[in-house]
């Protein structure tokens, strides 16, 4: 039951431009209740209450207190859980029980702009904490994309936010939506936007090539104004407040399996408070306006080349040379340039060397440990000036003693 003071607060927030959803999050009241009192001109009257024998919620209160201590106060999540345990009551009783335990963030009213079907998607990253990745605890991030018209959502968890991962997640999202929007809105993350000033917006060239391949026009929102992409900001918050409040796997692989089920069964089926329809319902209309993503091969993220290792433990790439462990002399290795301007060198099984791509020509990039075990003298390599992990040197300034050592076959 809304009290007199709460009645006036609801009406005041609405008059200030707050949305029904924002008022619901602020007060904890159901959106239907809020609409009722916004339309009503009468102050609510308190009903005479009589003692009841037992609330339908009573058998579940200890369970709820445990979940609240674990940090879950989202009533939608808790309702799903106790309903699975046999709860037959309504959401209102649950909200009344949980409300004293909730801390509501203050929200600022903003103007919401709607877009036509297939026109735009919004994308963002969210940090969600540490999880197990290949046996190690690593920081994990949530890649989120939402179609602006239908609010159809895609979420994927990763242990990196680099450009290669960003593009892979985009392609996975396109596959999930079975289509591509005309435009995607980004904030000013460095992997996408390298410059944003009043006179110039410059996107990462590789990323811009990727988007152009799929016929997408990128758009950057104004700095320090996340409301511009409020739809995807809400999705990030929804992931944290709903999906992550549930009991879930502690591994990256498990999270991605469970979030797909959550998307299909919960996030994209639940009625959206703004559109008043489930995202999957509006998506049936929007999907035909999306460009097809499967009409061409996947964008090639990595380009592989083969290089032979010289007698002095180098492979050449774009006019410069890069060292590899001496045991690979005479062998053929695979190389690729990463999207953060490094050269990775692989044998048949794993990456055996990694170097930053050098500018200019006729330079060697040496990692001293690649020569560890070879016979060295004060006149050869390494000298005192070379005692650092990596160093760029001009070809004509490098000692030729390494050639003799390798040709002799004496690594001792």
Q: Is 144 left (phi over 0), alpha (psi -120 to 50) or beta?
A: beta
Q: Using CA atoms, how far apart are residues 173 and 167, in angstroms rounded to an integer?
A: 10
In the numeric block, the tokens 């999050």 are attached to: 25
Verdict on whether the full-model pTM lies above 0.75: no
Task: Report pLDDT digits (tens) over 247-277.
Answer: 888 888 899 999 999 999 999 998 888 878 9
The C-alpha angle 181, 255, 121, rounded to 5 degrees, equals 15
> Which of 40-49, 55-64, 139-148, 183-192 shows the highest mean pLDDT?
139-148
pLDDT of residue 367: 93
CATH tag, 120-289: 3.30.420.10
Residue 290 or residue 232, greater confidence: 290
| Burial state string for 300-330 with b = 16 or more CB within 10 A and e = fewer than 16 | ebeeeeebebbebbbbebeebbbbbbbebbe
pLDDT tens for residues 57-116? 888 888 888 888 877 888 888 888 888 888 888 888 888 888 887 765 555 444 455 678
Domain-by-domain residue ranges, the chain? 4-47+54-101, 120-289, 304-408
Mean pLDDT score across all residues of the chain: 78
Q: What is d(CA 150, CA 235) in angstroms, rounded to the nearest whole number?
A: 13
Q: Are 243 and 262 in contact (CB under 8 A)?
A: yes
pLDDT of residue 403: 39
Q: Of 176, 182, 171, 175, whose CA–CA distance to 122 is shortest?
A: 182
Is residue 407's pLDDT more than 80? no
Encoded tokens for 279 = 């995202």
Higher pLDDT, 204 or 66: 66
């Amino acid at each position: 039951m809304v009290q007199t003071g709460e009645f006036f607060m609801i009406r005041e927030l609405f008059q200030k431009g707050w949305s029904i959803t924002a008022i619901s999050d602020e007060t904890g009241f159901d959106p239907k209740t809020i609409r009722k009192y916004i339309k009503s001109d009468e102050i609510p009257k308190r009903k005479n209450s009589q003692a009841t024998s037992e609330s339908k919620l009573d058998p579940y209160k200890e369970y709820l207190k445990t979940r609240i201590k674990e940090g879950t106060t989202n009533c939608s999540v808790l309702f799903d859980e106790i309903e699975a345990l046999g709860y037959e009551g309504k959401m209102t009783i649950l909200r009344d029980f949980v409300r004293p335990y909730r801390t509501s963030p203050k929200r600022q009213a903003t103007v919401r702009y709607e877009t036509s079907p297939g026109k735009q998607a919004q994308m963002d990253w969210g940090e969600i904490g540490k999880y197990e990745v290949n046996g190690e605890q690593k920081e994990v991030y949530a890649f989120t994309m939402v179609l602006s018209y239908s609010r159809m959502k895609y979420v994927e968890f990763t242990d990196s936010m680099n450009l290669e991962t960003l593009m892979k997640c985009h392609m996975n999202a396109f596959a999930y939506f079975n289509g591509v929007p005309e435009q995607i809105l980004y904030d000013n993350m460095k992997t996408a936007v390298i410059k944003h000033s009043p006179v110039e917006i410059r996107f990462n060239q590789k990323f811009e090539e990727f988007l152009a391949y799929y016929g997408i026009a990128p758009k950057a929102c104004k700095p320090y104004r996340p409301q511009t992409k409020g739809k995807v900001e809400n999705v990030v918050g929804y992931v944290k407040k709903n999906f992550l409040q549930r009991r879930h796997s502690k591994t990256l692989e498990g999270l991605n399996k469970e979030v797909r089920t959550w998307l299909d069964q919960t996030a994209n089926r639940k009625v959206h408070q703004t559109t008043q329809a489930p995202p999957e319902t509006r998506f049936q209309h929007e999907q035909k306006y999306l460009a097809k993503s499967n009409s061409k091969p996947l964008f090639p993220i990595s380009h592989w080349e083969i290089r032979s290792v010289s007698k002095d433990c180098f492979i050449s790439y774009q006019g410069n040379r890069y060292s590899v462990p001496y045991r690979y002399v005479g062998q053929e290795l695979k190389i690729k340039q990463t999207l953060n301007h490094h050269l990775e060198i692989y044998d048949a099984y794993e990456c055996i060397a990694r170097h930053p791509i050098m500018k200019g020509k006729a330079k060697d990039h040496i990692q001293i440990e690649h020569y560890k075990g070879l016979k060295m003298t004060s006149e050869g390599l390494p000298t005192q000036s070379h005692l650092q992990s990596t160093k760029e040197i001009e070809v004509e300034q490098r000692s030729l003693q390494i050639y003799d050592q390798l040709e002799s076959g004496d690594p001792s």
